[in-house]
Chain A
């Protein structure tokens, strides 16, 4: 597979920009690039403020006190303009390194509640893991490309999209 083998590129509404394309000035929206990575981790979803029965009702089987695991699939989407010199919105090799350093390294083959902050204090629901991944990744993108969306699949039947935008 080439550089685009596991990469999807789509153009959706974001902010309009004028670019030169084959000598013609055309109007179009920012480009989105998405990279997918996977990590496997275990967790328990239970609130210490609730009884075992209440946790069971709220979180279902995910409240099993001994934990369980998932093959998480993470899709990270950046928005930006292709650089006029390199033709890239963001260097995918650098993106791969950022994802490895901030997410896969710390979370892969870990018990999230015991080994990955803040999940010693915060319940590691899909919602909270997606938000934590956003917080870890966002400071890495401050120049041409901005973090646009974090999509975290807990299973192929359950995923959460998380993003933040300046008011």
Chain B
């Protein structure tokens, strides 16, 4: 009986950033009601961690699905350099910097710079705190 194998590698990266949740579409009062403490005009910050998953077939010679130093370099270049110790309201191109939108931004940056020869990007799981995580599955365009 033939079988199909499934391999997925997940690597966790950490960054710290500030944000303020405030929608320009809403009144000040509505923003306060919706976002609560996260609407504080002076902002606040989190120690985020982002789990990046890739999936595919490990190379039979190297035994690697992906070179971890190469994945680290990609994250450093495309995500961490801009997002670590930043104010997300200034760094994100559009949208309120909720963790949902930060996860989408990370996915967008990775997909735009995804190197040839890398296994498929499977998804992004972003932890805002130990108690809140936001997960998206990457769909190939």
Contacts and interface: CB of A to CB of B under 8 A. Distances in A.
Q: Do A and B come from one complex?
A: yes
A89 B82 CA distance: 48
Given A57-B69, A131-B58, A167-B2, A161 B64 contact: no
B64 A127 contact: yes
B37 interface: no
Interface string A47-86: 1010000000111101000000000000000000000000
B12 interface: yes
A45 B5 CA distance: 22
Q: Do most interface residues of chain A lie in helix, strand or loop, or is the interface mixed?
A: mixed
A166 B4 CA distance: 6
B10 A59 contact: no
A125 B64 contact: yes
Q: Do most interface residues of chain B lie in helix, strand or loop, or is the interface mixed?
A: mixed
Nearest to A63: B69
Contacts of A49: 61
B5 A131 contact: yes
Given A125-B63, A158-B68, A130 B10 contact: no
B62 interface: yes
Interface residues of A, number: 29
Nearest to B9: A160
B42 interface: no
Contacts of B63: 45, 47, 122-125, 127-128
B67 interface: yes
A1 interface: no
B65 interface: yes
A58 B4 contact: no
Given A58-B69, A158-B12, A163 B6 contact: yes
B141 interface: no
A164 interface: yes
A113 to B, nearest CB: 12
Given A47-B61, A59-B69, A165 B4 contact: yes
Contacts of B46: none
Contacts of B62: 47, 58-59, 123, 125
Nearest to B67: A58
A159 interface: yes
Nearest to A155: B12
A161 B7 contact: yes
B77 interface: no
Interface string B1-26: 11111111111110000000000000
B6 A165 contact: yes
A162 interface: yes
Interface of B: 1-13, 58, 61-65, 67-70, 72
9 contacts: A49-B61, A58-B67, A59-B64, A59-B69, A126-B9, A158-B11, A162-B7, A164-B5, A164-B6
3 shortest A-B CB distances, which residue pairs?
A123-B63, A60-B69, A125-B63
